[in-house]
Amino acid sequence: MKPRVGVSACLLGERVRYDGGHKHDPVLTDLLGPRVEFVSVCPEVEVGMGIPRPPLHLEGARMVETDSGRDWTDPMNAYAEARVAALDHLDGYVFKSKSPSCGLAPTRGLFAEAVARRWPDLPMVEERDLQDSALREDFIRRVFAGRTSGNASESGEE
């Protein structure tokens, strides 16, 4: 059985971005895709935001619509906790960079934070990290190494 890797849906070419587009990443799908089973997630769509939708940004730990200031923090945090708890075994995660829900750096998105809190040892990268062959191979190595140690198959509780 192939390792299961969570991935931001837009990176697989799904048209779920705020503008109705996608951010298909051929390195992800062509190089990593044949080696793993992807578990596609789009927190914004799954929490009930439409396509298209207003752009969002983080203000500290708050997720707000850029133009209106509508605050999505509480719904996103509640969704993220429930969705992460419902995810089956994962061996790694590839997040969309610069996303208020999925980015890892410089500020971690709300969904990415929920994943990291539940599985602190889960290999996680942003798609832009996969462009670097050394970072990509390190991620792949950690994904396959995690299959022997259990990673996200455990409850995440100590």
- Read off the pLDDT of residues 87-115 as tens digits, 9 standing for 90 and up: 979 999 999 999 999 999 999 999 999 99
Confidence of residue 154 (pLDDT cuts 50, 70, 90): very low
Whether the per-residue pLDDT at 157 is higher than 50: the answer is: no
CA 44 to CA 55: how far, in whole Å?
Answer: 11
Whether the per-residue pLDDT at 155 is higher than 50: the answer is: no
**pLDDT (0 to 100) of residue 88:** 77
Report pLDDT digits (tens) over 51-70. 999 999 999 999 999 999 99
**How confident is the prediction for the chain on average, in pLDDT?**
93
74 sits in which H/E element: helix 73-86
46 sits in which H/E element: helix 43-46
**pLDDT (0 to 100) of residue 32:** 95
**In terms of DSSP bridges, do strands 92-95 and 4-8 run parallel, antiparallel, or are they unpaired?**
parallel
- Measured in residues, the chain has a length of 158
Whether the per-residue pLDDT at 152 is higher than 90: the answer is: no
Residues 6+ apart with CB under 8 A from 8: 23, 41, 42, 94, 95, 96, 99, 102, 127
